[in-house]
Amino acid sequence: MDTLRNLLKKTYAGVCAVEAALSAVCLITTVVVIFSLAIFRSFGIPIHWALDTALLVFTWGVFLGADVAFREDKLVNVDFVYTRLPGKLQTLVSIFLYLLMAVFLITLIYHGIDLSISTKHRSFQGIPHLSFTWVTISMPICSFLMLISLSIKVYRTFVTRS
């Protein structure tokens, strides 16, 4: 059992590292593409595919980055009131918030899959042979990754603390 647990931990650590690297690459690529578009446009050379490519890469970068930030507790939070609550009430608030997050993420997964299916025949304006689904599928995939991160947080918070 410990061997399987260690294998899962190593696999998840690898997935997390790839996810963080992909998120950074996507955001840097977005900046480079938009900057290049502005430079070339100032010389009268429009790059028709640049905005669509930036949209695709930015969407993936943002959703992947959201999971990385959530997993590493780097999201903006206001715990001014939360830290002043008694321990049991903090636990109840945490349970409520984790349940709310889970419902929200499951909703994003469900509607994201539906949206991805409905956009499969829509193509980018600048890239006609690339389906818009590549943009919309980022939402359910990254929401699923966030749901995994949430599950691990719940496990660490309530199971290992008990």
Measured distance CA(32)–CA(152) in Å, rounded: 35
Task: Please give the mean pLDDT across all residues of the chain.
Answer: 90
Q: Of 58, 68, 61, which Cα lies nearest the Cα of 13?
A: 68
DSSP string of 93-141, one letter each residue? HHHHHHHHHHHHHHHHHHHHHHHHHHTTT-B-SS-TTSBTHHHHTHHHH
Look at residue 60 in the predicted model and tell me its pLDDT.
96
Of 11-25, 86-100, 136-150, the range with the lowest mean pLDDT is 86-100
The mean pLDDT value for 75-97 works out to 86
Q: Is residue 162's pLDDT more than 60? A: no
Q: Could you tell me the two tokens for 99? A: 């349940």
- What one-character DSSP code corresponds to residue 82? G
Give the amino acid at 3: T
Q: pTM of the predicted model, to two decimals?
A: 0.87
Q: How many Cα atoms occupy the beta-carbon half-sphere of 127 within 13 Å?
A: 15
Q: Is residue 84's pLDDT more than 80? A: yes
Look at residue 125 in the predicted model and tell me its pLDDT.
67
Q: pLDDT tens for residues 15-74?
A: 999 999 999 999 999 999 999 999 999 999 988 888 888 989 999 999 999 999 999 988
Look at residue 161 in the predicted model and tell me its pLDDT.
65
